[in-house]
Chains A and B, each alone.
Chain A
């Protein structure tokens, strides 16, 4: 009984070491890869309203509506160590109230095996674009970028920003009709 157990023991310990080495290999072969690709963003429509923020603090805040297109080919990012990409479109701008604001407007999960070519047109934002205050009105410089979080099988979780962003100005007046 001793020898069976001790054989099982050393076999188990050895397989653990092998798996540790494999995981390390998995990590080190992809650790320094550049995970960025060019991205084309286009904004086709912007509208601004001013309403009570029903998603949180009930103060009157600026609510932006954006319709956008995004084109990107993510195929080169996927390899044996990339399990998933978490894509997110974020708007960055500054206002009188806050030096820096970042709002995620839309996100998407792309798994290994899914179609890596992104070609989306006339997309509406997934999340409400509320400002903390009234800083979107007349804001000349709201920058939209597409970024992604690379989720590996083993290794670091980098946040990569696609090369290609678009800056849009927001209107000076509020929209009062019920359109969107």
Chain B
């Protein structure tokens, strides 16, 4: 989703199921069998009279749509694959996925933003380099023991 969002940016998500899915919206979805949620834009929707909708997504910076990412034989996403919609943003932080992904009740939209510079990068670093995480935990523990106040 560059250049709109970069790795480390904070997105505030909603997941009101009754909100219709329309093209142009940024949705966070998960593909069956994969853990990592994907944040992409809706490119195409086909909605039936009864409200059943199937849609296609694509990352802004990608040349092709997401069909290559979907499950083998899967051509469309459905409402059940969506775990959130991006409604607000904050620069330079990390994506906060809703706490209980997959369930309907999720974190509500907070239109008031907080600037938390680079904290997101810290989380990403800790995920990518577990040794860094242990070092931080160790230092924190040390600090707690040594701090005399």
Contact = CB atoms under 8 A, between A and B. Distances in A.
A168 to B, nearest CB: 18
Contact of A27 (B44, B46, B113, B116): B113
A109 B60 contact: yes
Contacts of A22: 115
Given A56-B75, A111-B3, A101 B46 contact: yes
A50 interface: no
Contacts of B87: 156-157
Contact of A55 (B65, B111, B114): B65
B49 A57 contact: no
B43 A23 contact: no
A157 B22 contact: no
Interface residues of B, number: 36
Contacts of B45: 100-102
Interface string B93-127: 00000000000000000011111110000000000
B78 interface: no
Contact of B24 (A16, A55, A100, A159): A159
A20 interface: yes
A83 B4 contact: yes
Taking residues whose C-beta sits less than 8 angstroms from the other chain, chain A's interface range is 35 or more
Given A109-B60, A151-B89, A104 B44 contact: yes
B48 A98 contact: yes
B113 to A, nearest CB: 5
Contacts of B83: none
A99 B3 contact: no
A98 B115 CA distance: 43
B90 interface: yes
Interface in A103-160: 103-104, 107, 109, 111, 127, 132, 147, 149, 151-157, 159
A99 B46 CA distance: 8
Interface stretch (A34-42, A63-71, A72-80, A84-92): A84-92
A19 interface: yes
Contacts of B23: 88, 90, 102-104
B86 interface: yes
B67 interface: yes
Closest 10 pairs (CB-CB, A-B): A23-B115, A56-B75, A132-B46, A100-B47, A102-B23, A99-B49, A151-B4, A98-B46, A154-B113, A19-B115
27 contacts: A16-B117, A20-B115, A23-B113, A27-B112, A56-B75, A56-B76, A90-B23, A97-B46, A99-B48, A101-B45, A102-B45, A103-B23, A104-B43, A107-B60, A109-B3, A111-B3, A127-B43, A149-B4, A149-B24, A151-B5, A153-B91, A154-B91, A154-B113, A155-B113, A156-B111, A157-B26, A157-B86
